[in-house]
Structure 1
Amino acid sequence: MLNQPAGPTLLGFDVTTVGTLLSVIAALAVFVAIYSAVTIRDPMQKRVKALNDRREQLKAGIINAPRKRQSVVRRNDATDKMGAFLGRARMLQDSQITEIQQKLAQAGIRNKEWAVAVVLARLVTPIVLGGIAGLVIYGIDYFPDWSALKKFMAFAVAVLVGYKGPDIYIQNLVTKRTDAIRKGLPDALDLLVICAEAGLTVDAAFDRVARELGRAYPELGDEFSLTAIELSFLTERRHAFENLAYRVNLDAVRGVVTTMIQTERYGTPLASSLRVLSAEFRNERMMRAEEKAARLPAIMTVPLILFILPTLFVVILGPAACSIADAFSGGDPQPPNG
């Protein structure tokens, strides 16, 4: 049998095979995008469920004995087993659990028992990734050309990524949620001013603002809804505002909380204080936008030099260079006359 001619290759890979795989991946991505666009999930169901759970917890805390008047955390068998395992291994620390619980609350994860799962992930993920990296690098020797130092560095990076991976993921959730809340805070304060001037109470104003901004800023609406529920159930209203500052990692929210607490304690006018805060936050947002605009030329310098200017030079100077090369070559030599 005659051997079939090999197709074109690029970096040792068959171009036809690679193109087929990329086409299949692109088709699957199109199907996934269409499915995601058609089946749009309503985020309100999850928010309503979380709010109802918090309301039931506060009701349970009021109904129970005074020594048990705290938020009741639902028990979970999986997290109980994780906690028991980590407790026997002496890897649970109260300060560590408290810090992780605050991070989870700032990320929008209401169940505090997941802090145990984060600690377990810190233990298991480095072992898993380190085992896979060790098997690939040292076991089957997939990179025989690498030096011993390079292999060790790759193994160490895999272990470090496994250890820091859960924290990086949670911090990413916290950053995205904080940015979303920061964008909607000035509008929320303006609505609070309007509600206060209209004669609504603080908890009614928070609930009204949460319903008005729930579609545009769902994260901020969620936090304001929880604050309105806690204002209605907690014995001390100051705790509800402190819980809001605990759940949101934002200095502006802490300023609002401080203003609310001082208003409740000293009876200062709420509308005037919130109006001043709203103006300050809008000025801060404008200054942040101007800072990004002023930093844009410096950021665009490197892409301009690496990608835009070479292409521009090729387009402008390419035809001239080809003409000069043809002129200097003198064309094809003519054959002698016989």
Structure 2
Amino acid sequence: MDQTAAHPHILGFDVFFVGTLLAGVAAIMVMVAIYAALTVRDPMQKRVKALNERREQLKAGIVSHTPKKRANIVRRSDTTDAIRMILDKLKVLQDSQLADAQQKLAQAGIRNKEWAVAIIFGRMVAPIILGGLAAIVIYWINYFPLWTDFKKFMGFAAAVVGGYKGPDIYVQNLITKRTAAIRKGLPDALDLLVICAEAGLTVDAAFSRVAKELGRAYPELGDEFALTAIELSFLSERRQAFENLAYRVALDSVRGVVTTMIQTERYGTPLASALRVLSAEFRNERMMRAEEKAARLPAIMTVPLILFILPVLFIVILGPAACSIADAFSSGPAATKK
């Protein structure tokens, strides 16, 4: 007799198997949490290392005149080189696709552009691997015998699509979190830039000072400003440093700041007054987003209010009365008989 047939199933899934799988995932997450708590690292060390590497790359581009010497400074990886060779042999590596992946990595805070080929390789390999595993589990082993043909096909299709979109979803999630953190600290950064500009500091010194002051409160924004300050010091065209900042941050507000800085550098307009106007605009925008969230709160709270709060309230209010009525009806016929 097959013992798995006696196990209860919900939506075609074995309850015991799902419970075991969830227990295993929970145990792994507990071990990961313990490891993360025991090996706490200072995020500033990683930031300083990345900024120093970028500074050395810019120095190499200025001092070294030969491409071979400059290539020694740039970080290379045997893994990414092997992936690039495979993609070149398969004729699937396009320049536009590679440039888009590199920009997404930069917006996600990943400085090494060589890992863009890994994203393209993951889009190609992950659907094959996950689709093959799904085909083996669903069709060959027939682990879900209660599923219809349509449900089996949908499970296989979900595995293939998930494998293809998985790398992009992961990178986009990093971009969304980083963009939200930068948007949150941008008005404060502009206020400090205004103070530094009015104090007589140069643009690169002002960016460096703001990065130092906001590095703990807003590490993502401090990282970007510090990198911009380094590029302002080493690049021959200061416009390129500001354009690199807009390239690395997927935020319209940062593009507005970059446009203002470029116009200030070109036409000599007062920097403090322009940044003060931008700072006030961004603060009003942040207040409007907060008011919008507050206005949506009553509509969002309607569903939990109906599903969870009102039933409990009715039970608390009407429960004693219902119990008293039930007791009265149950004791009434007995008293009549006596």
Specify if TM > 0.5: yes
2: distance between equivalents of 1:184 and 1:173?
Answer: 17
> What SS does the corresponding residue of 2:113 show, helix, strand or coil?
coil
TM-score by length of 2: 0.87
| Distance of aligned partners of 1:179 and 1:62 in 2 relative to their CA distance in 1, 3 Å threshold | same
Cα deviation digits, residues 157-195 of structure 1 (max 9, x gap): 111111101101100000000000001101000101111
Q: Residue 234 of structure 1 contacts residue 240 of structure 1 at CA under 8 Å; is this kept in 2?
A: yes
Question: CA shift at 1:145, angstroms?
Answer: 1.1
TM-score by length of 1: 0.87
Question: CA shift at 1:313, angstroms?
Answer: 2.0
| Distance of aligned partners of 1:69 and 1:250 in 2 relative to their CA distance in 1, 3 Å threshold | farther
Amino acid at match of 1:59: K
| Distance of aligned partners of 1:68 and 1:250 in 2 relative to their CA distance in 1, 3 Å threshold | farther
Equivalence for 1:4? none
2: distance between equivalents of 1:165 and 1:290?
Answer: 34
| Distance of aligned partners of 1:319 and 1:289 in 2 relative to their CA distance in 1, 3 Å threshold | same
Equivalence for 2:48? 48
Equivalence for 2:4? none
2: distance between equivalents of 1:257 and 1:74?
Answer: 28
| Distance of aligned partners of 1:303 and 1:61 in 2 relative to their CA distance in 1, 3 Å threshold | same
Amino acid at match of 1:139: W
Equivalence for 1:86? 87
1: distance between equivalents of 2:66 and 2:193?
Answer: 33
| Distance of aligned partners of 1:315 and 1:127 in 2 relative to their CA distance in 1, 3 Å threshold | farther
| Count of aligned pairs between the two proteins | 323
Equivalence for 2:306? 305
1: distance between equivalents of 2:34 and 2:287?
Answer: 37
Equivalence for 1:237? 238
Equivalence for 1:150? 151
> What SS does the corresponding residue of 2:239 show, helix, strand or coil?
helix
1:237-316 equivalence runs, <5 A: 237-316=238-317
Question: CA shift at 1:316, angstroms?
Answer: 2.3
Cα deviation digits, residues 108-132 of structure 1 (max 9, x gap): 0001111100001111111121122
> What SS does the corresponding residue of 2:269 show, helix, strand or coil?
coil
2: distance between equivalents of 1:255 and 1:182?
Answer: 12
Q: Unpaired runs of 5+ in structure 1?
A: 1-8
Richer in helix (by share): 2
Cα deviation digits, residues 224-253 of structure 1 (max 9, x gap): 000000000000000000000000000110
2: distance between equivalents of 1:264 and 1:306?
Answer: 58
2: distance between equivalents of 1:170 and 1:278?
Answer: 29
1: distance between equivalents of 2:152 and 2:145?
Answer: 9
Identical pairs, percent? 74
Equivalence for 2:5? none
2: distance between equivalents of 1:24 and 1:142?
Answer: 20
Provide the alpha-carbon RMSD of the alignment.
2.9
Matched, 1:98 2:104: no
1: distance between equivalents of 2:24 and 2:155?
Answer: 32
Q: Residue 211 of structure 1 contacts residue 221 of structure 1 at CA under 8 Å; is this kept in 2?
A: yes
Q: Residue 107 of structure 2 contacts residue 250 of structure 2 at CA under 8 Å; is this kept in 1?
A: yes
Give the stretch that moved more between structures: 66-75 or 110-119: 66-75
1: distance between equivalents of 2:212 and 2:248?
Answer: 19
| Distance of aligned partners of 1:132 and 1:317 in 2 relative to their CA distance in 1, 3 Å threshold | farther
Give the stretch that moved more between structures: 313-322 or 235-244: 313-322
Equivalence for 1:174? 175
> What SS does the corresponding residue of 2:220 show, helix, strand or coil?
helix
Equivalence for 1:227? 228
Q: Residue 245 of structure 1 contacts residue 253 of structure 1 at CA under 8 Å; is this kept in 2?
A: yes
Question: CA shift at 1:155, angstroms?
Answer: 0.9
1:58-97 equivalence runs, <5 A: 58-65=58-65, 73-97=74-98
1: distance between equivalents of 2:69 and 2:265?
Answer: 23
Question: CA shift at 1:322, angstroms?
Answer: 2.5
Question: CA shift at 1:28, angstroms?
Answer: 7.5
Q: Residue 73 of structure 1 contacts residue 112 of structure 1 at CA under 8 Å; is this kept in 2?
A: no
2: distance between equivalents of 1:193 and 1:112?
Answer: 33
Cα deviation digits, residues 135-171 of structure 1 (max 9, x gap): 2211221111111011101110111111101101100
2: distance between equivalents of 1:147 and 1:290?
Answer: 48
Q: Residue 62 of structure 1 contacts residue 69 of structure 1 at CA under 8 Å; is this kept in 2?
A: no
Runs of 4+ in 1 over 6 A off after TM superposition: 9-14, 21-24, 66-72
